[in-house]
Amino acid sequence: MFDTPFQEVALRHAEAWRAHDGRRQIGSAATTYAGRDASTFSPKAAILFDASDAWTLKASIGRAVRTTVFLERSHDALYSQTNAGGTQVSNVGRIDTQGVEMALQLDRLFVPGLELSSSLTYADSEIRKNKGYPDTVGKRQPRVPAWRGTLLANYGFDGHWSGANGARFSGKQYGQLNNSDINGYSYQGFSRYFVTDVRVQYRIDRQWQASLGLDNLNNHQYWAFHPYPQRTVHAELRFDY
């Protein structure tokens, strides 16, 4: 720090991960994976100006790394399939899934007490081999949408009151291997959706807190084999030892 109204702050956060002893087993067939590791830095710099005894102005810039790239190849996954001989559980020869997942978290951005977190996932999951069921090859894996994401904002009004607003969405998805169920908004269907939730919490003291919330605030009608609940009110009174 300097003996002036200006102050400088510089931080560098190191991140590292390591995976080992990876193994996947389907029946008697087992696949092992080699160990992997990675590391990176997330630098941050800030400058502060003491405008008065009561006011401090701050500007900051930084970089955070939370990116995951994935590739998965599944052999002989078990699915219920139907052909001229009827419906039976059988193996899907090969399904390839590749994509990227990103997550972002911002604390006290512009407004003290405000925290934002979000995630976004893209997945390209395709059936590549399926003996006896040619109409499924080249189609998307069931229940795996191309896009999926979340966004959550938390704000602490003071030492007692806080509120949260969240949003989540999922792109189009299928329940059938041949993707023939094009209408997801019906019984046994799997639809796209966009849903928002809100919650207000009041901390009475160190041990007691009360909350009130609304799930599916926008009252969106969506399906995952059966209809999901629409706008729902919930209340909670909690005691912590």
pTM of the model: 0.67
Domain residue extents for the chain: 1-62, 66-239
Domain 66-239: state its class: mainly beta
| Nearest by Cα to 126 from 202, 63, 73, 87 | 73
- 95-111 residue pLDDT tens: 999 999 988 877 766 67
* Of residues 28 and 192, more confidently modeled: 192
pLDDT band at 123 (very low <50, low <70, confident <90, very high): very high
- For 51-146, where are the E strands, in sequence order? 56-62, 67-83, 86-107, 114-129
The CB-side HSE value for 212 (13 A sphere, CA atoms) comes to 2
Instruction: Check if the beta carbon of residue 195 is closer than 8 Å to that of residue 222.
Output: yes
Give yes or no for a contact between 157 and 164, defined as CB atoms under 8 angstroms apart. Answer: no
What pLDDT shows up at residue 122?
96
Q: Quote the tokens at residue 131.
A: 């003996």
Cβ 94 vs Cβ 73: under 8 Å? yes
- Type of residue found at 240: D
Model confidence at 130, pLDDT cuts 50, 70, 90, reads: very high
pLDDT at 2 over 50: no
Band (pLDDT 50/70/90 cuts) for residue 222 is very high
pLDDT value at position 148? Answer: 96
